[in-house]
Amino acid sequence: MSKHAKITILGCGNSTGVPAIGNYWGDCDPNEPKNNRTRCSIAIKTPETTIIVDTGPNFREQINRENIKKIDGVLYSHMHSDHVHGIDELRVVKFRNKTRVPIYGNKETLDDLKHRFDYLFKGGRNELYPPILETFELNEQHFNRKQQFNDIDFTPFEQDHGTIKSVGYRFGDCAYSVDILNLDKKAINVLKGINTWIVDAAAYKKNDSLVHAGIKRIYELNDQINAQDVILTSLSLTMDYKILTNELKEGYRAAYDGLNLKISL
């Protein structure tokens, strides 16, 4: 009998969020609540465990909005600021859990975090500021192989994000792919058999982006993956929710902050 978990879209906005600073909505209707988007992140919850993927600038707001009381660990997709700049909030998690917070990422991501936020790893200049985080590096021994965190299995896989490699994660019959430009055959093989694919579509109708996938590429990739429910995330100021709903093929839909999904692990 398969275990079930809940995935919550904590945020589905691209790096600017919607609205962007200055209350700028771009092409998005400000009267549509689903256009109000914080930066990309998800929570995976079972009765025993809660894992977060990415702690962007809106992390505290997202956790409080969803009334998440306990966080057991964090998986990072990559080190870009819109995915990590809420990392300081893990200080409160550490004090409540009474143990360092485990975080996972590839070497490039963890090295960058240790450089920018060294005090979270080494502690401050006196005992009032202890180390907060414990790191677990994902490398070739882990990619494309099932890993376990408490009662949640996950499979990390590498993704092409143009200038860097990001890490995607499969959780049972669901996978999460931010930020991506393309996927290689190894990643596609990991994704085959999923029912739900939450995927970066920040480029949408642009076919010349150097760092993000457009919808044409997502359609092509899913011709190989065959997910039945493809949920677009990393949505930009050019991507109005209702327009996306009318334009997308059957089986494809736009994410929104607070969307809940039931998955099988």
Residues 6+ apart with CB under 8 A from 23: none
Average the pLDDT over 33-48 and give the result. 98
pLDDT band at 2; cut points 50, 70, 90: confident
Average the pLDDT over 172-179 and give the result. 97
Which pLDDT score, from 0 to 100, does residue 208 have?
87
For the chain, percent of residues with pLDDT exceeding 90: 95
Q: How far apart are CA 230 and CA 50, in angstroms?
A: 23
pLDDT band at 56; cut points 50, 70, 90: very high
Contact 195, 227 (CB under 8 A): yes
Which pLDDT score, from 0 to 100, does residue 1 have?
52
Work out the angle at residue 83's Cα, subtended by the Cα atoms of residues 195 and 118, and round it to the nearest 5 degrees. 135
**Cα distances (angstroms) measured from residue 132 to each of 30, 86, 127, 198, 247:** 39, 14, 12, 30, 45
pLDDT band at 129; cut points 50, 70, 90: confident
Helix extents (H) in the chain: 59-65, 81-84, 90-97, 107-116, 118-122, 185-191, 215-225, 241-247
Which pLDDT score, from 0 to 100, does residue 128 have?
77
Total residue length of the chain: 265
For the chain, percent of residues with pLDDT exceeding 70: 100
Domain 4-259 falls under CATH 3.20.20.70: no
Q: How far apart are CA 193 and CA 14, in angstroms?
A: 27
What is the distance of C-alpha 74 from the center of its chain?
A: 10
Q: How far apart are CA 222 and CA 193, in angstroms?
A: 11
Does pTM surpass 0.85? yes
Instruction: Write the pLDDT tens digit of every residue in 208-259.
Output: 899 999 999 999 999 999 999 999 999 999 999 999 999 999 999 999 999 9
Q: Is the pLDDT of residue 21 over 70?
A: yes
Instruction: Write the pLDDT tens digit of every residue in 63-98.
Output: 999 999 999 999 999 999 999 999 999 999 999 999
pLDDT band at 124; cut points 50, 70, 90: confident
Is 221 in a helix, a strand, or coil? helix
Burial 161-198 (b: 16+ CB within 10 A, else e): beebebbbbbbbbbbbbbbbbebeeebeebbeebebbb
Which pLDDT score, from 0 to 100, does residue 90 have?
98
Mean pLDDT over the full length of the chain: 96
Cβ atoms < 10 Å from Cβ of 246: 8
Pairing of strands 50-53, 41-45: antiparallel
pLDDT band at 50; cut points 50, 70, 90: very high
> From its phi and psi, is residue 226 left (phi > 0), alpha (psi between -120 and 50) or beta?
left
Contact 90, 72 (CB under 8 A): no
